[in-house]
Amino acid sequence: MSDCIFCKIIEGHIPSRKVHEDDRVVAFWDAHPASPIHILIVPKNHIPTLNDIPENDQILAHVGAVAKTVARQFGVDQSGYRLFVNVNRGGGQMVFHLHAHLVAGNDLGTLFIKAAIACAILWRKLVGLVVKNRVSR
């Protein structure tokens, strides 16, 4: 597809930070990473959305296998990662060439939020105890 940005990347007309390539897919860094690790896994065939995958086409299985390889490459296969496909505008799809997002590395953010919640709960308990002590005196 001549006006498709991912086709242009696949054909080498637009640069990308590739992390994997084989006969059916390329995987490269998302230009605007939403996580410390954000890789797009993109079939080489121009298929606009997940709805357009031909019957019996095993491309999603291959994308899954490549995700496993890429996750291992970045050392997150055991710690964990998220793999998702946006479908059509309502599903958040902006580039109409099928691709899967592999995101990982947000653990620190989650840990910070969990720690903040734990502190807030502890604080409320402490304040509750102080108030109870004063009332019972």
**Are 20 and 70 contacting, i.e. CB atoms less than 8 angstroms apart?**
yes
Which DSSP letter does residue 119 get?
A: H
Q: Alpha helix (H) ranges present in the chain?
A: 5-10, 59-73, 107-136
Residues 6+ apart with CB under 8 A from 27: 18, 19, 20, 21, 39, 40, 41, 42, 66, 70, 102
Name the minimum Å distance from CB 74 to ligand AMP.
17
97 near Zn ion, rule: CB under 5 A: yes
4 near Zn ion, rule: CB under 5 A: yes
85 near Zn ion, rule: CB under 5 A: no
- What mask of x and - would describe binding to ligand AMP in positions 80 to 119, judged by CB under 6 A? ------x-----xxxx------------------------
Instruction: For the segment 30-89, give every residue that binds ligand AMP (CB under 6 A).
Output: 30-32, 40, 86
**Are 39 and 70 contacting, i.e. CB atoms less than 8 angstroms apart?**
yes
Question: In terms of CB distance, is 33 or 128 closer to ligand AMP?
Answer: 33
CB atoms within 10 A of CB 102: 25
Question: In terms of CB distance, is 50 or 65 closer to ligand AMP?
Answer: 50
Interacting residues toward Zn ion by CB under 5 A: 1, 4, 6-7, 46, 97
Residues that bind ligand AMP (CB under 6 A): 5, 14, 16, 30-32, 40, 86, 92-95
